[in-house]
Amino acid sequence: MVSDSVRGPVPPAVLLKVGLRATHISYSANSQAWSLVVPLSLGAEYRLAPRFGFYGQVEADLQTSRSTIARRRRPTQAAVAVPSAALGVGLRYYYNQPRRGESLRNARLYGGYLAVEGNIERNAVTGRYVSQLRRQATTGLTPGLYVYWGTQHRLRGALLYDASAGLGFQAPTYYNFESIAPAHYNIAAQVNLRLYWSHGFYSH
């Protein structure tokens, strides 16, 4: 196997990605506190065929915050938490790639795609009491199924971006791994922009 930096336009068999989900970056501040969210994203894609790829990704929003309110004559220290995280797996169809056996002269390393993705999101539930569970809920898990249209392109060197938009269904949220009634299925929309450092491996 060799790096994608020394190959032509043939897509890599395996693509590893490390970066940020830029649409989740946020910063807020006032006279008493500040908070910064850094959304990390890790992904891997296996190209089943020139036009089809199977992928998985793990994402986490890391929140760093600090209060300047004096407590016992000292401000609180900066704290790091993970208010939300997500795990997703899916299948992509790159519609602008040549089919197997066709000429690769005009092939692109990446390009426009359609994708079907199943995912599950974990969100911290702060100070929320779910009476049906008779306990203080601390975690909410929400499964979902989405269809995306997107495009993935190299920026420069090993840098690339992945932009997508889609619609899907979200199943009822499980609080502390238990469901509550009434259960509702919701239609949800997502817009994502991810910036990655990537590394590709090619099969012989």
Give the model confidence (pLDDT) of 174-200 as tens digits: 887 777 767 789 999 999 999 999 999
pTM: 0.83
Half-sphere exposure of 162 (CA within 13 A, CB side): 25
Average pLDDT over residues 56-81: 73
Contact 139/122 with Cβ under 8 angstroms? Answer: yes
Residues 37, 123, 161, 106, Cα dihedral to 10°:
180
Q: Is the dihedral of CA 129, 133, 136, 139 positive or negative?
A: negative
Residue 22, pLDDT > 70, answer yes
Interval 145-176: pLDDT, tens: 999 999 999 888 899 999 999 999 999 988 87
